Chains A and B, each alone.
Chain A
Amino acid sequence: MTEPLLKPRKKNPVERTRLATRPPGARSRTALGLTRAAAEGRFELQVCADCGSVQYPPREVCGYCLSEHLAWKPVDNRGELIALSTLRHSNDLYFRERLPWRVGTVKMTAGPVVVAHIHEDCAAPEGTGVPVRLTLKLDRSGQAVLHALPAKDTPNMNDAAQMRESTCDPKFRRVLVTDGKSAMGLATARAMLDAGAATIFLGDPSSWKTVAAFDKLAADPRVQVVELDVTDTDSVDRVAASIGGKVEILVNTASHLRDGGILGRKDVILARDAMEVNVLGLMRLAQAFGPGMCFRAADGSNHAVAWVNVLSIHALAALPSRGAWSASMAAALSASQTLRAELRGAGVRVLNVFPGPIEEDWEQLTPPPKLAPAAVAKAIVKGLQDGIEDLYVGDIAEEIRERLRDNHKAVERELGQ
């Protein structure tokens, strides 16, 4: 059974900080189908439309009937572990630092035989196969790998070292919530504490404003308030200079949402305010905190691990009644993709969150269903624990996402009505 993770000891300040290494990241374009599934937390393999056989590894034509019609589909993730090896030597820099490492062969119920990383709670096969569940996870290169987990959950299974390599669990980590005064920020901070975060740095963009729930949360000894306004480069730099070396998960909850399209106004002031917070704020945070997080991406068991952007499903499809804000969401999404590419070198994951409407002040006139901030926060924590990088929260977000795949013009017309 996995030993529960212990609270990391204080770092020895005269020891050199280990730099991040990455597992091999090259994949064929076809194999990136696995990455897409892993990024959204699904288990998918190619299935032949003609003969129905499940394929692994990913390929251009069916390994059984040579058909070209291979579609990525959810498949049964069960299987039997039939062979297990424990690596005690590797010439790869990443694995050398993490030995011993368990790998094995799993015969899937769906057909294929796959090589996977094997969880330490999976028993070794002795004569007969051991039932396991396969899961697709993103590794520190941002590419999909197969992990075999025990058939049933075991205590502390997410604490296993091999699992922590593919996930971003807040447990014992220090989390910066950039705007801690918003409904979403407050809920995120609470959810992170519930998930075992060691410290919450709670951003306060408006120290002149009293928010009772904020003050209550700030009284928790695990919470440390930092004055942080993402529109102010000085402020962002100051906070990064004081706590940047401690932030292991950054959740950007800073948000500027106002109603209004584009033609209906005589100025771009609100649009600019939205860009300042939602886009340039993200960039300022990235410039101030990104390098430090990359430097600490292999620093102990609670190393820097993830960057979370709370966006909106309307980053993908504009809501014309909030045209300027939608544009800022789309720009923020684009910036986050660059950030993802830039942080990937160190293995720091960018989790983009796409919720539907959230129950908060600026959504007052939005008809239900609306998401409780606590529900979104809980989904963010789970997304980190699962190690995914694109998270669609709520029925509205999921529906828009699905329908964009089906007919993006229909979505465009309907949101514009």
Chain B
Amino acid sequence: MSTPVLTQFLNELLNGRLKMVDLTQTLSPEFPTIVLPPEFGQAWPFRIEEISRYDERGPAWYWNNFSMSEHTGTHFDAPAHWISGKDLPDNTVDSMPVENFIAAACVIDVSKEAAENADFLLTIDYVKAWEEKHGRIPERSWVLLRTDWSKRATPKEYLNMAEDGAHSPGPDAEVVPWLIRERNVHGFGTESVGTDAGQAHHLNPPYPCHYFMHGNNRYGLQCLTNLDQLPPQGALIFAAPLKIRNGSGSPLRVLALTPSA
């Protein structure tokens, strides 16, 4: 019987032994969106227009229209987002299995390294050292990279553009296939604007996290926040993208369930 489990879960949540952590950035027009070279089409940033607010446009109701891309704000990357995942089954947000919306999470804290080096790359050795301290990464688990990037106050600091492009941390080209092959992870999540590092176009292959994760039907989460409130192991992530037909990804609310400290 699974009912007692759910009852117990709800009790734990209500009595405070479990807490929910919102890993979602607020959708606002100022929140930076990934910037491609200007000759490419660009992902729309979040934009919002008031339809009415208890006024002559609608006396008793308040509502807005908004627009954005599938990859704006805190968002989910489906395998179809990358060419390596284009022919996989159930590779879009509307077709992926609903069970996959829930998974455990390992949080690898590289915030110190990222503060010292914006181009910090996560390596296999770093993950192995982390496992020695916090235990092996379980199968079907999200790997979330805590960089404290979400604490950067302005779009300028967050995107961190220089003349040679963006500088932000991410995984290197070896650790991503290793995480899939050796640990069978669910996907990879970051606080920065993409799952790959700012300079990942210079890696081989370019954008390895997108290339390998999506090429193996795994997922991506980016623009996460509050990762500093999660334990290295033991949190559960609820991340359900919008059901967009043939959608390559979607903004979403990412919730973590974690034991109270």
Q: Which residue of the partner chain, among A209, A232, A258, contacts B47 with CB atoms under 8 Å?
A: A232
B95 interface residue, CB < 8 Å from A? Answer: no
30 pairs from A and B in contact (CB 8 Å cutoff) = A207-B154, A207-B155, A208-B32, A208-B35, A208-B155, A208-B156, A208-B161, A209-B161, A210-B161, A210-B162, A210-B163, A231-B45, A231-B47, A232-B29, A232-B45, A232-B47, A233-B29, A233-B47, A233-B48, A233-B49, A234-B28, A234-B29, A234-B30, A234-B48, A235-B29, A235-B30, A258-B39, A267-B41, A269-B41, A273-B42
A183 interface residue, CB < 8 Å from B? Answer: no
A80 interface residue, CB < 8 Å from B? Answer: no
User: A203-252: which residues lie under 8 A (CB-CB) from chain B?
Assistant: 207-210, 229, 231-235
Binding site for A on B (CB under 8 A): 28-30, 32, 35, 39, 41-42, 45, 47-49, 154-156, 158-159, 161-163
Q: Is the CB of A207 within 8 A of B156?
A: yes
Q: Is the CB of B29 within 8 A of A229?
A: yes
Q: How far is the CA of A235 from the CA of B154 in the complex (A)?
A: 15
Nearest CB on B from A283, distance (A):
11
Nearest CB on B from A240, distance (A):
15
What residues of chain B lie closer than 8 Å to A235, measured between beta carbons? 29-30
Q: Is the CB of A208 within 8 A of B159?
A: yes
A270 interface residue, CB < 8 Å from B? Answer: yes
What residues of chain A lie closer than 8 Å to B158, measured between beta carbons? 208
Q: Residue of A at shortest CB range from B161? A: A208
Query: Closest 6 A-B residue pairs measured CB to CB?
Result: A232-B29, A208-B159, A208-B155, A208-B156, A269-B41, A234-B29
Q: Residue of A at shortest CB range from B50? A: A233
Q: Residue of B at shortest CB range from A227? A: B30
Nearest CB on A from B26, distance (A):
13
Q: Residue of A at shortest CB range from B49? A: A233
How many positions in chain A have a CB within 8 Å of any CB in the partner chain?
Answer: 15
What residues of chain A lie closer than 8 Å to B42, measured between beta carbons? 273
Q: How far is the CA of A234 from the CA of B50 in the complex (A)?
A: 10
Q: How far is the CA of A207 from the CA of B157 in the complex (A)?
A: 10
Q: How far is the CA of A273 from the CA of B30 in the complex (A)?
A: 17
User: A260-315: which residues lie under 8 A (CB-CB) from chain B?
Assistant: 267, 269-270, 273
Nearest CB on B from A208, distance (A):
4
Q: Residue of B at shortest CB range from A267? A: B41
What residues of chain B lie closer than 8 Å to A233, measured between beta carbons? 29, 47-49
Interface string of A310-323 (1 = CB under 8 A from B): 00000000000000
Nearest CB on B from A111, distance (A):
57
Q: How far is the CA of A184 from the CA of B48 in the complex (A)?
A: 28
What residues of chain A lie closer than 8 Å to B28, measured between beta carbons? 234
Q: How far is the CA of A210 from the CA of B167 in the complex (A)?
A: 14
What residues of chain B lie closer than 8 Å to A273, measured between beta carbons? 41-42
Q: Residue of B at shortest CB range from A272? A: B44
Nearest CB on B from A288, distance (A):
13
Nearest CB on B from A347, distance (A):
28
Nearest CB on A from B112, distance (A):
25
Nearest CB on B from A387, distance (A):
36
Given contacts A207-B154, A233-B47, A258-B39, 12 further A-B contacts (CB under 8 A): A208-B35, A208-B155, A208-B158, A209-B161, A210-B162, A231-B45, A232-B29, A232-B47, A233-B48, A234-B30, A234-B48, A269-B41
Nearest CB on B from A146, distance (A):
45
Q: How far is the CA of A267 from the CA of B28 in the complex (A)?
A: 26
Q: How far is the CA of A209 from the CA of B160 in the complex (A)?
A: 9
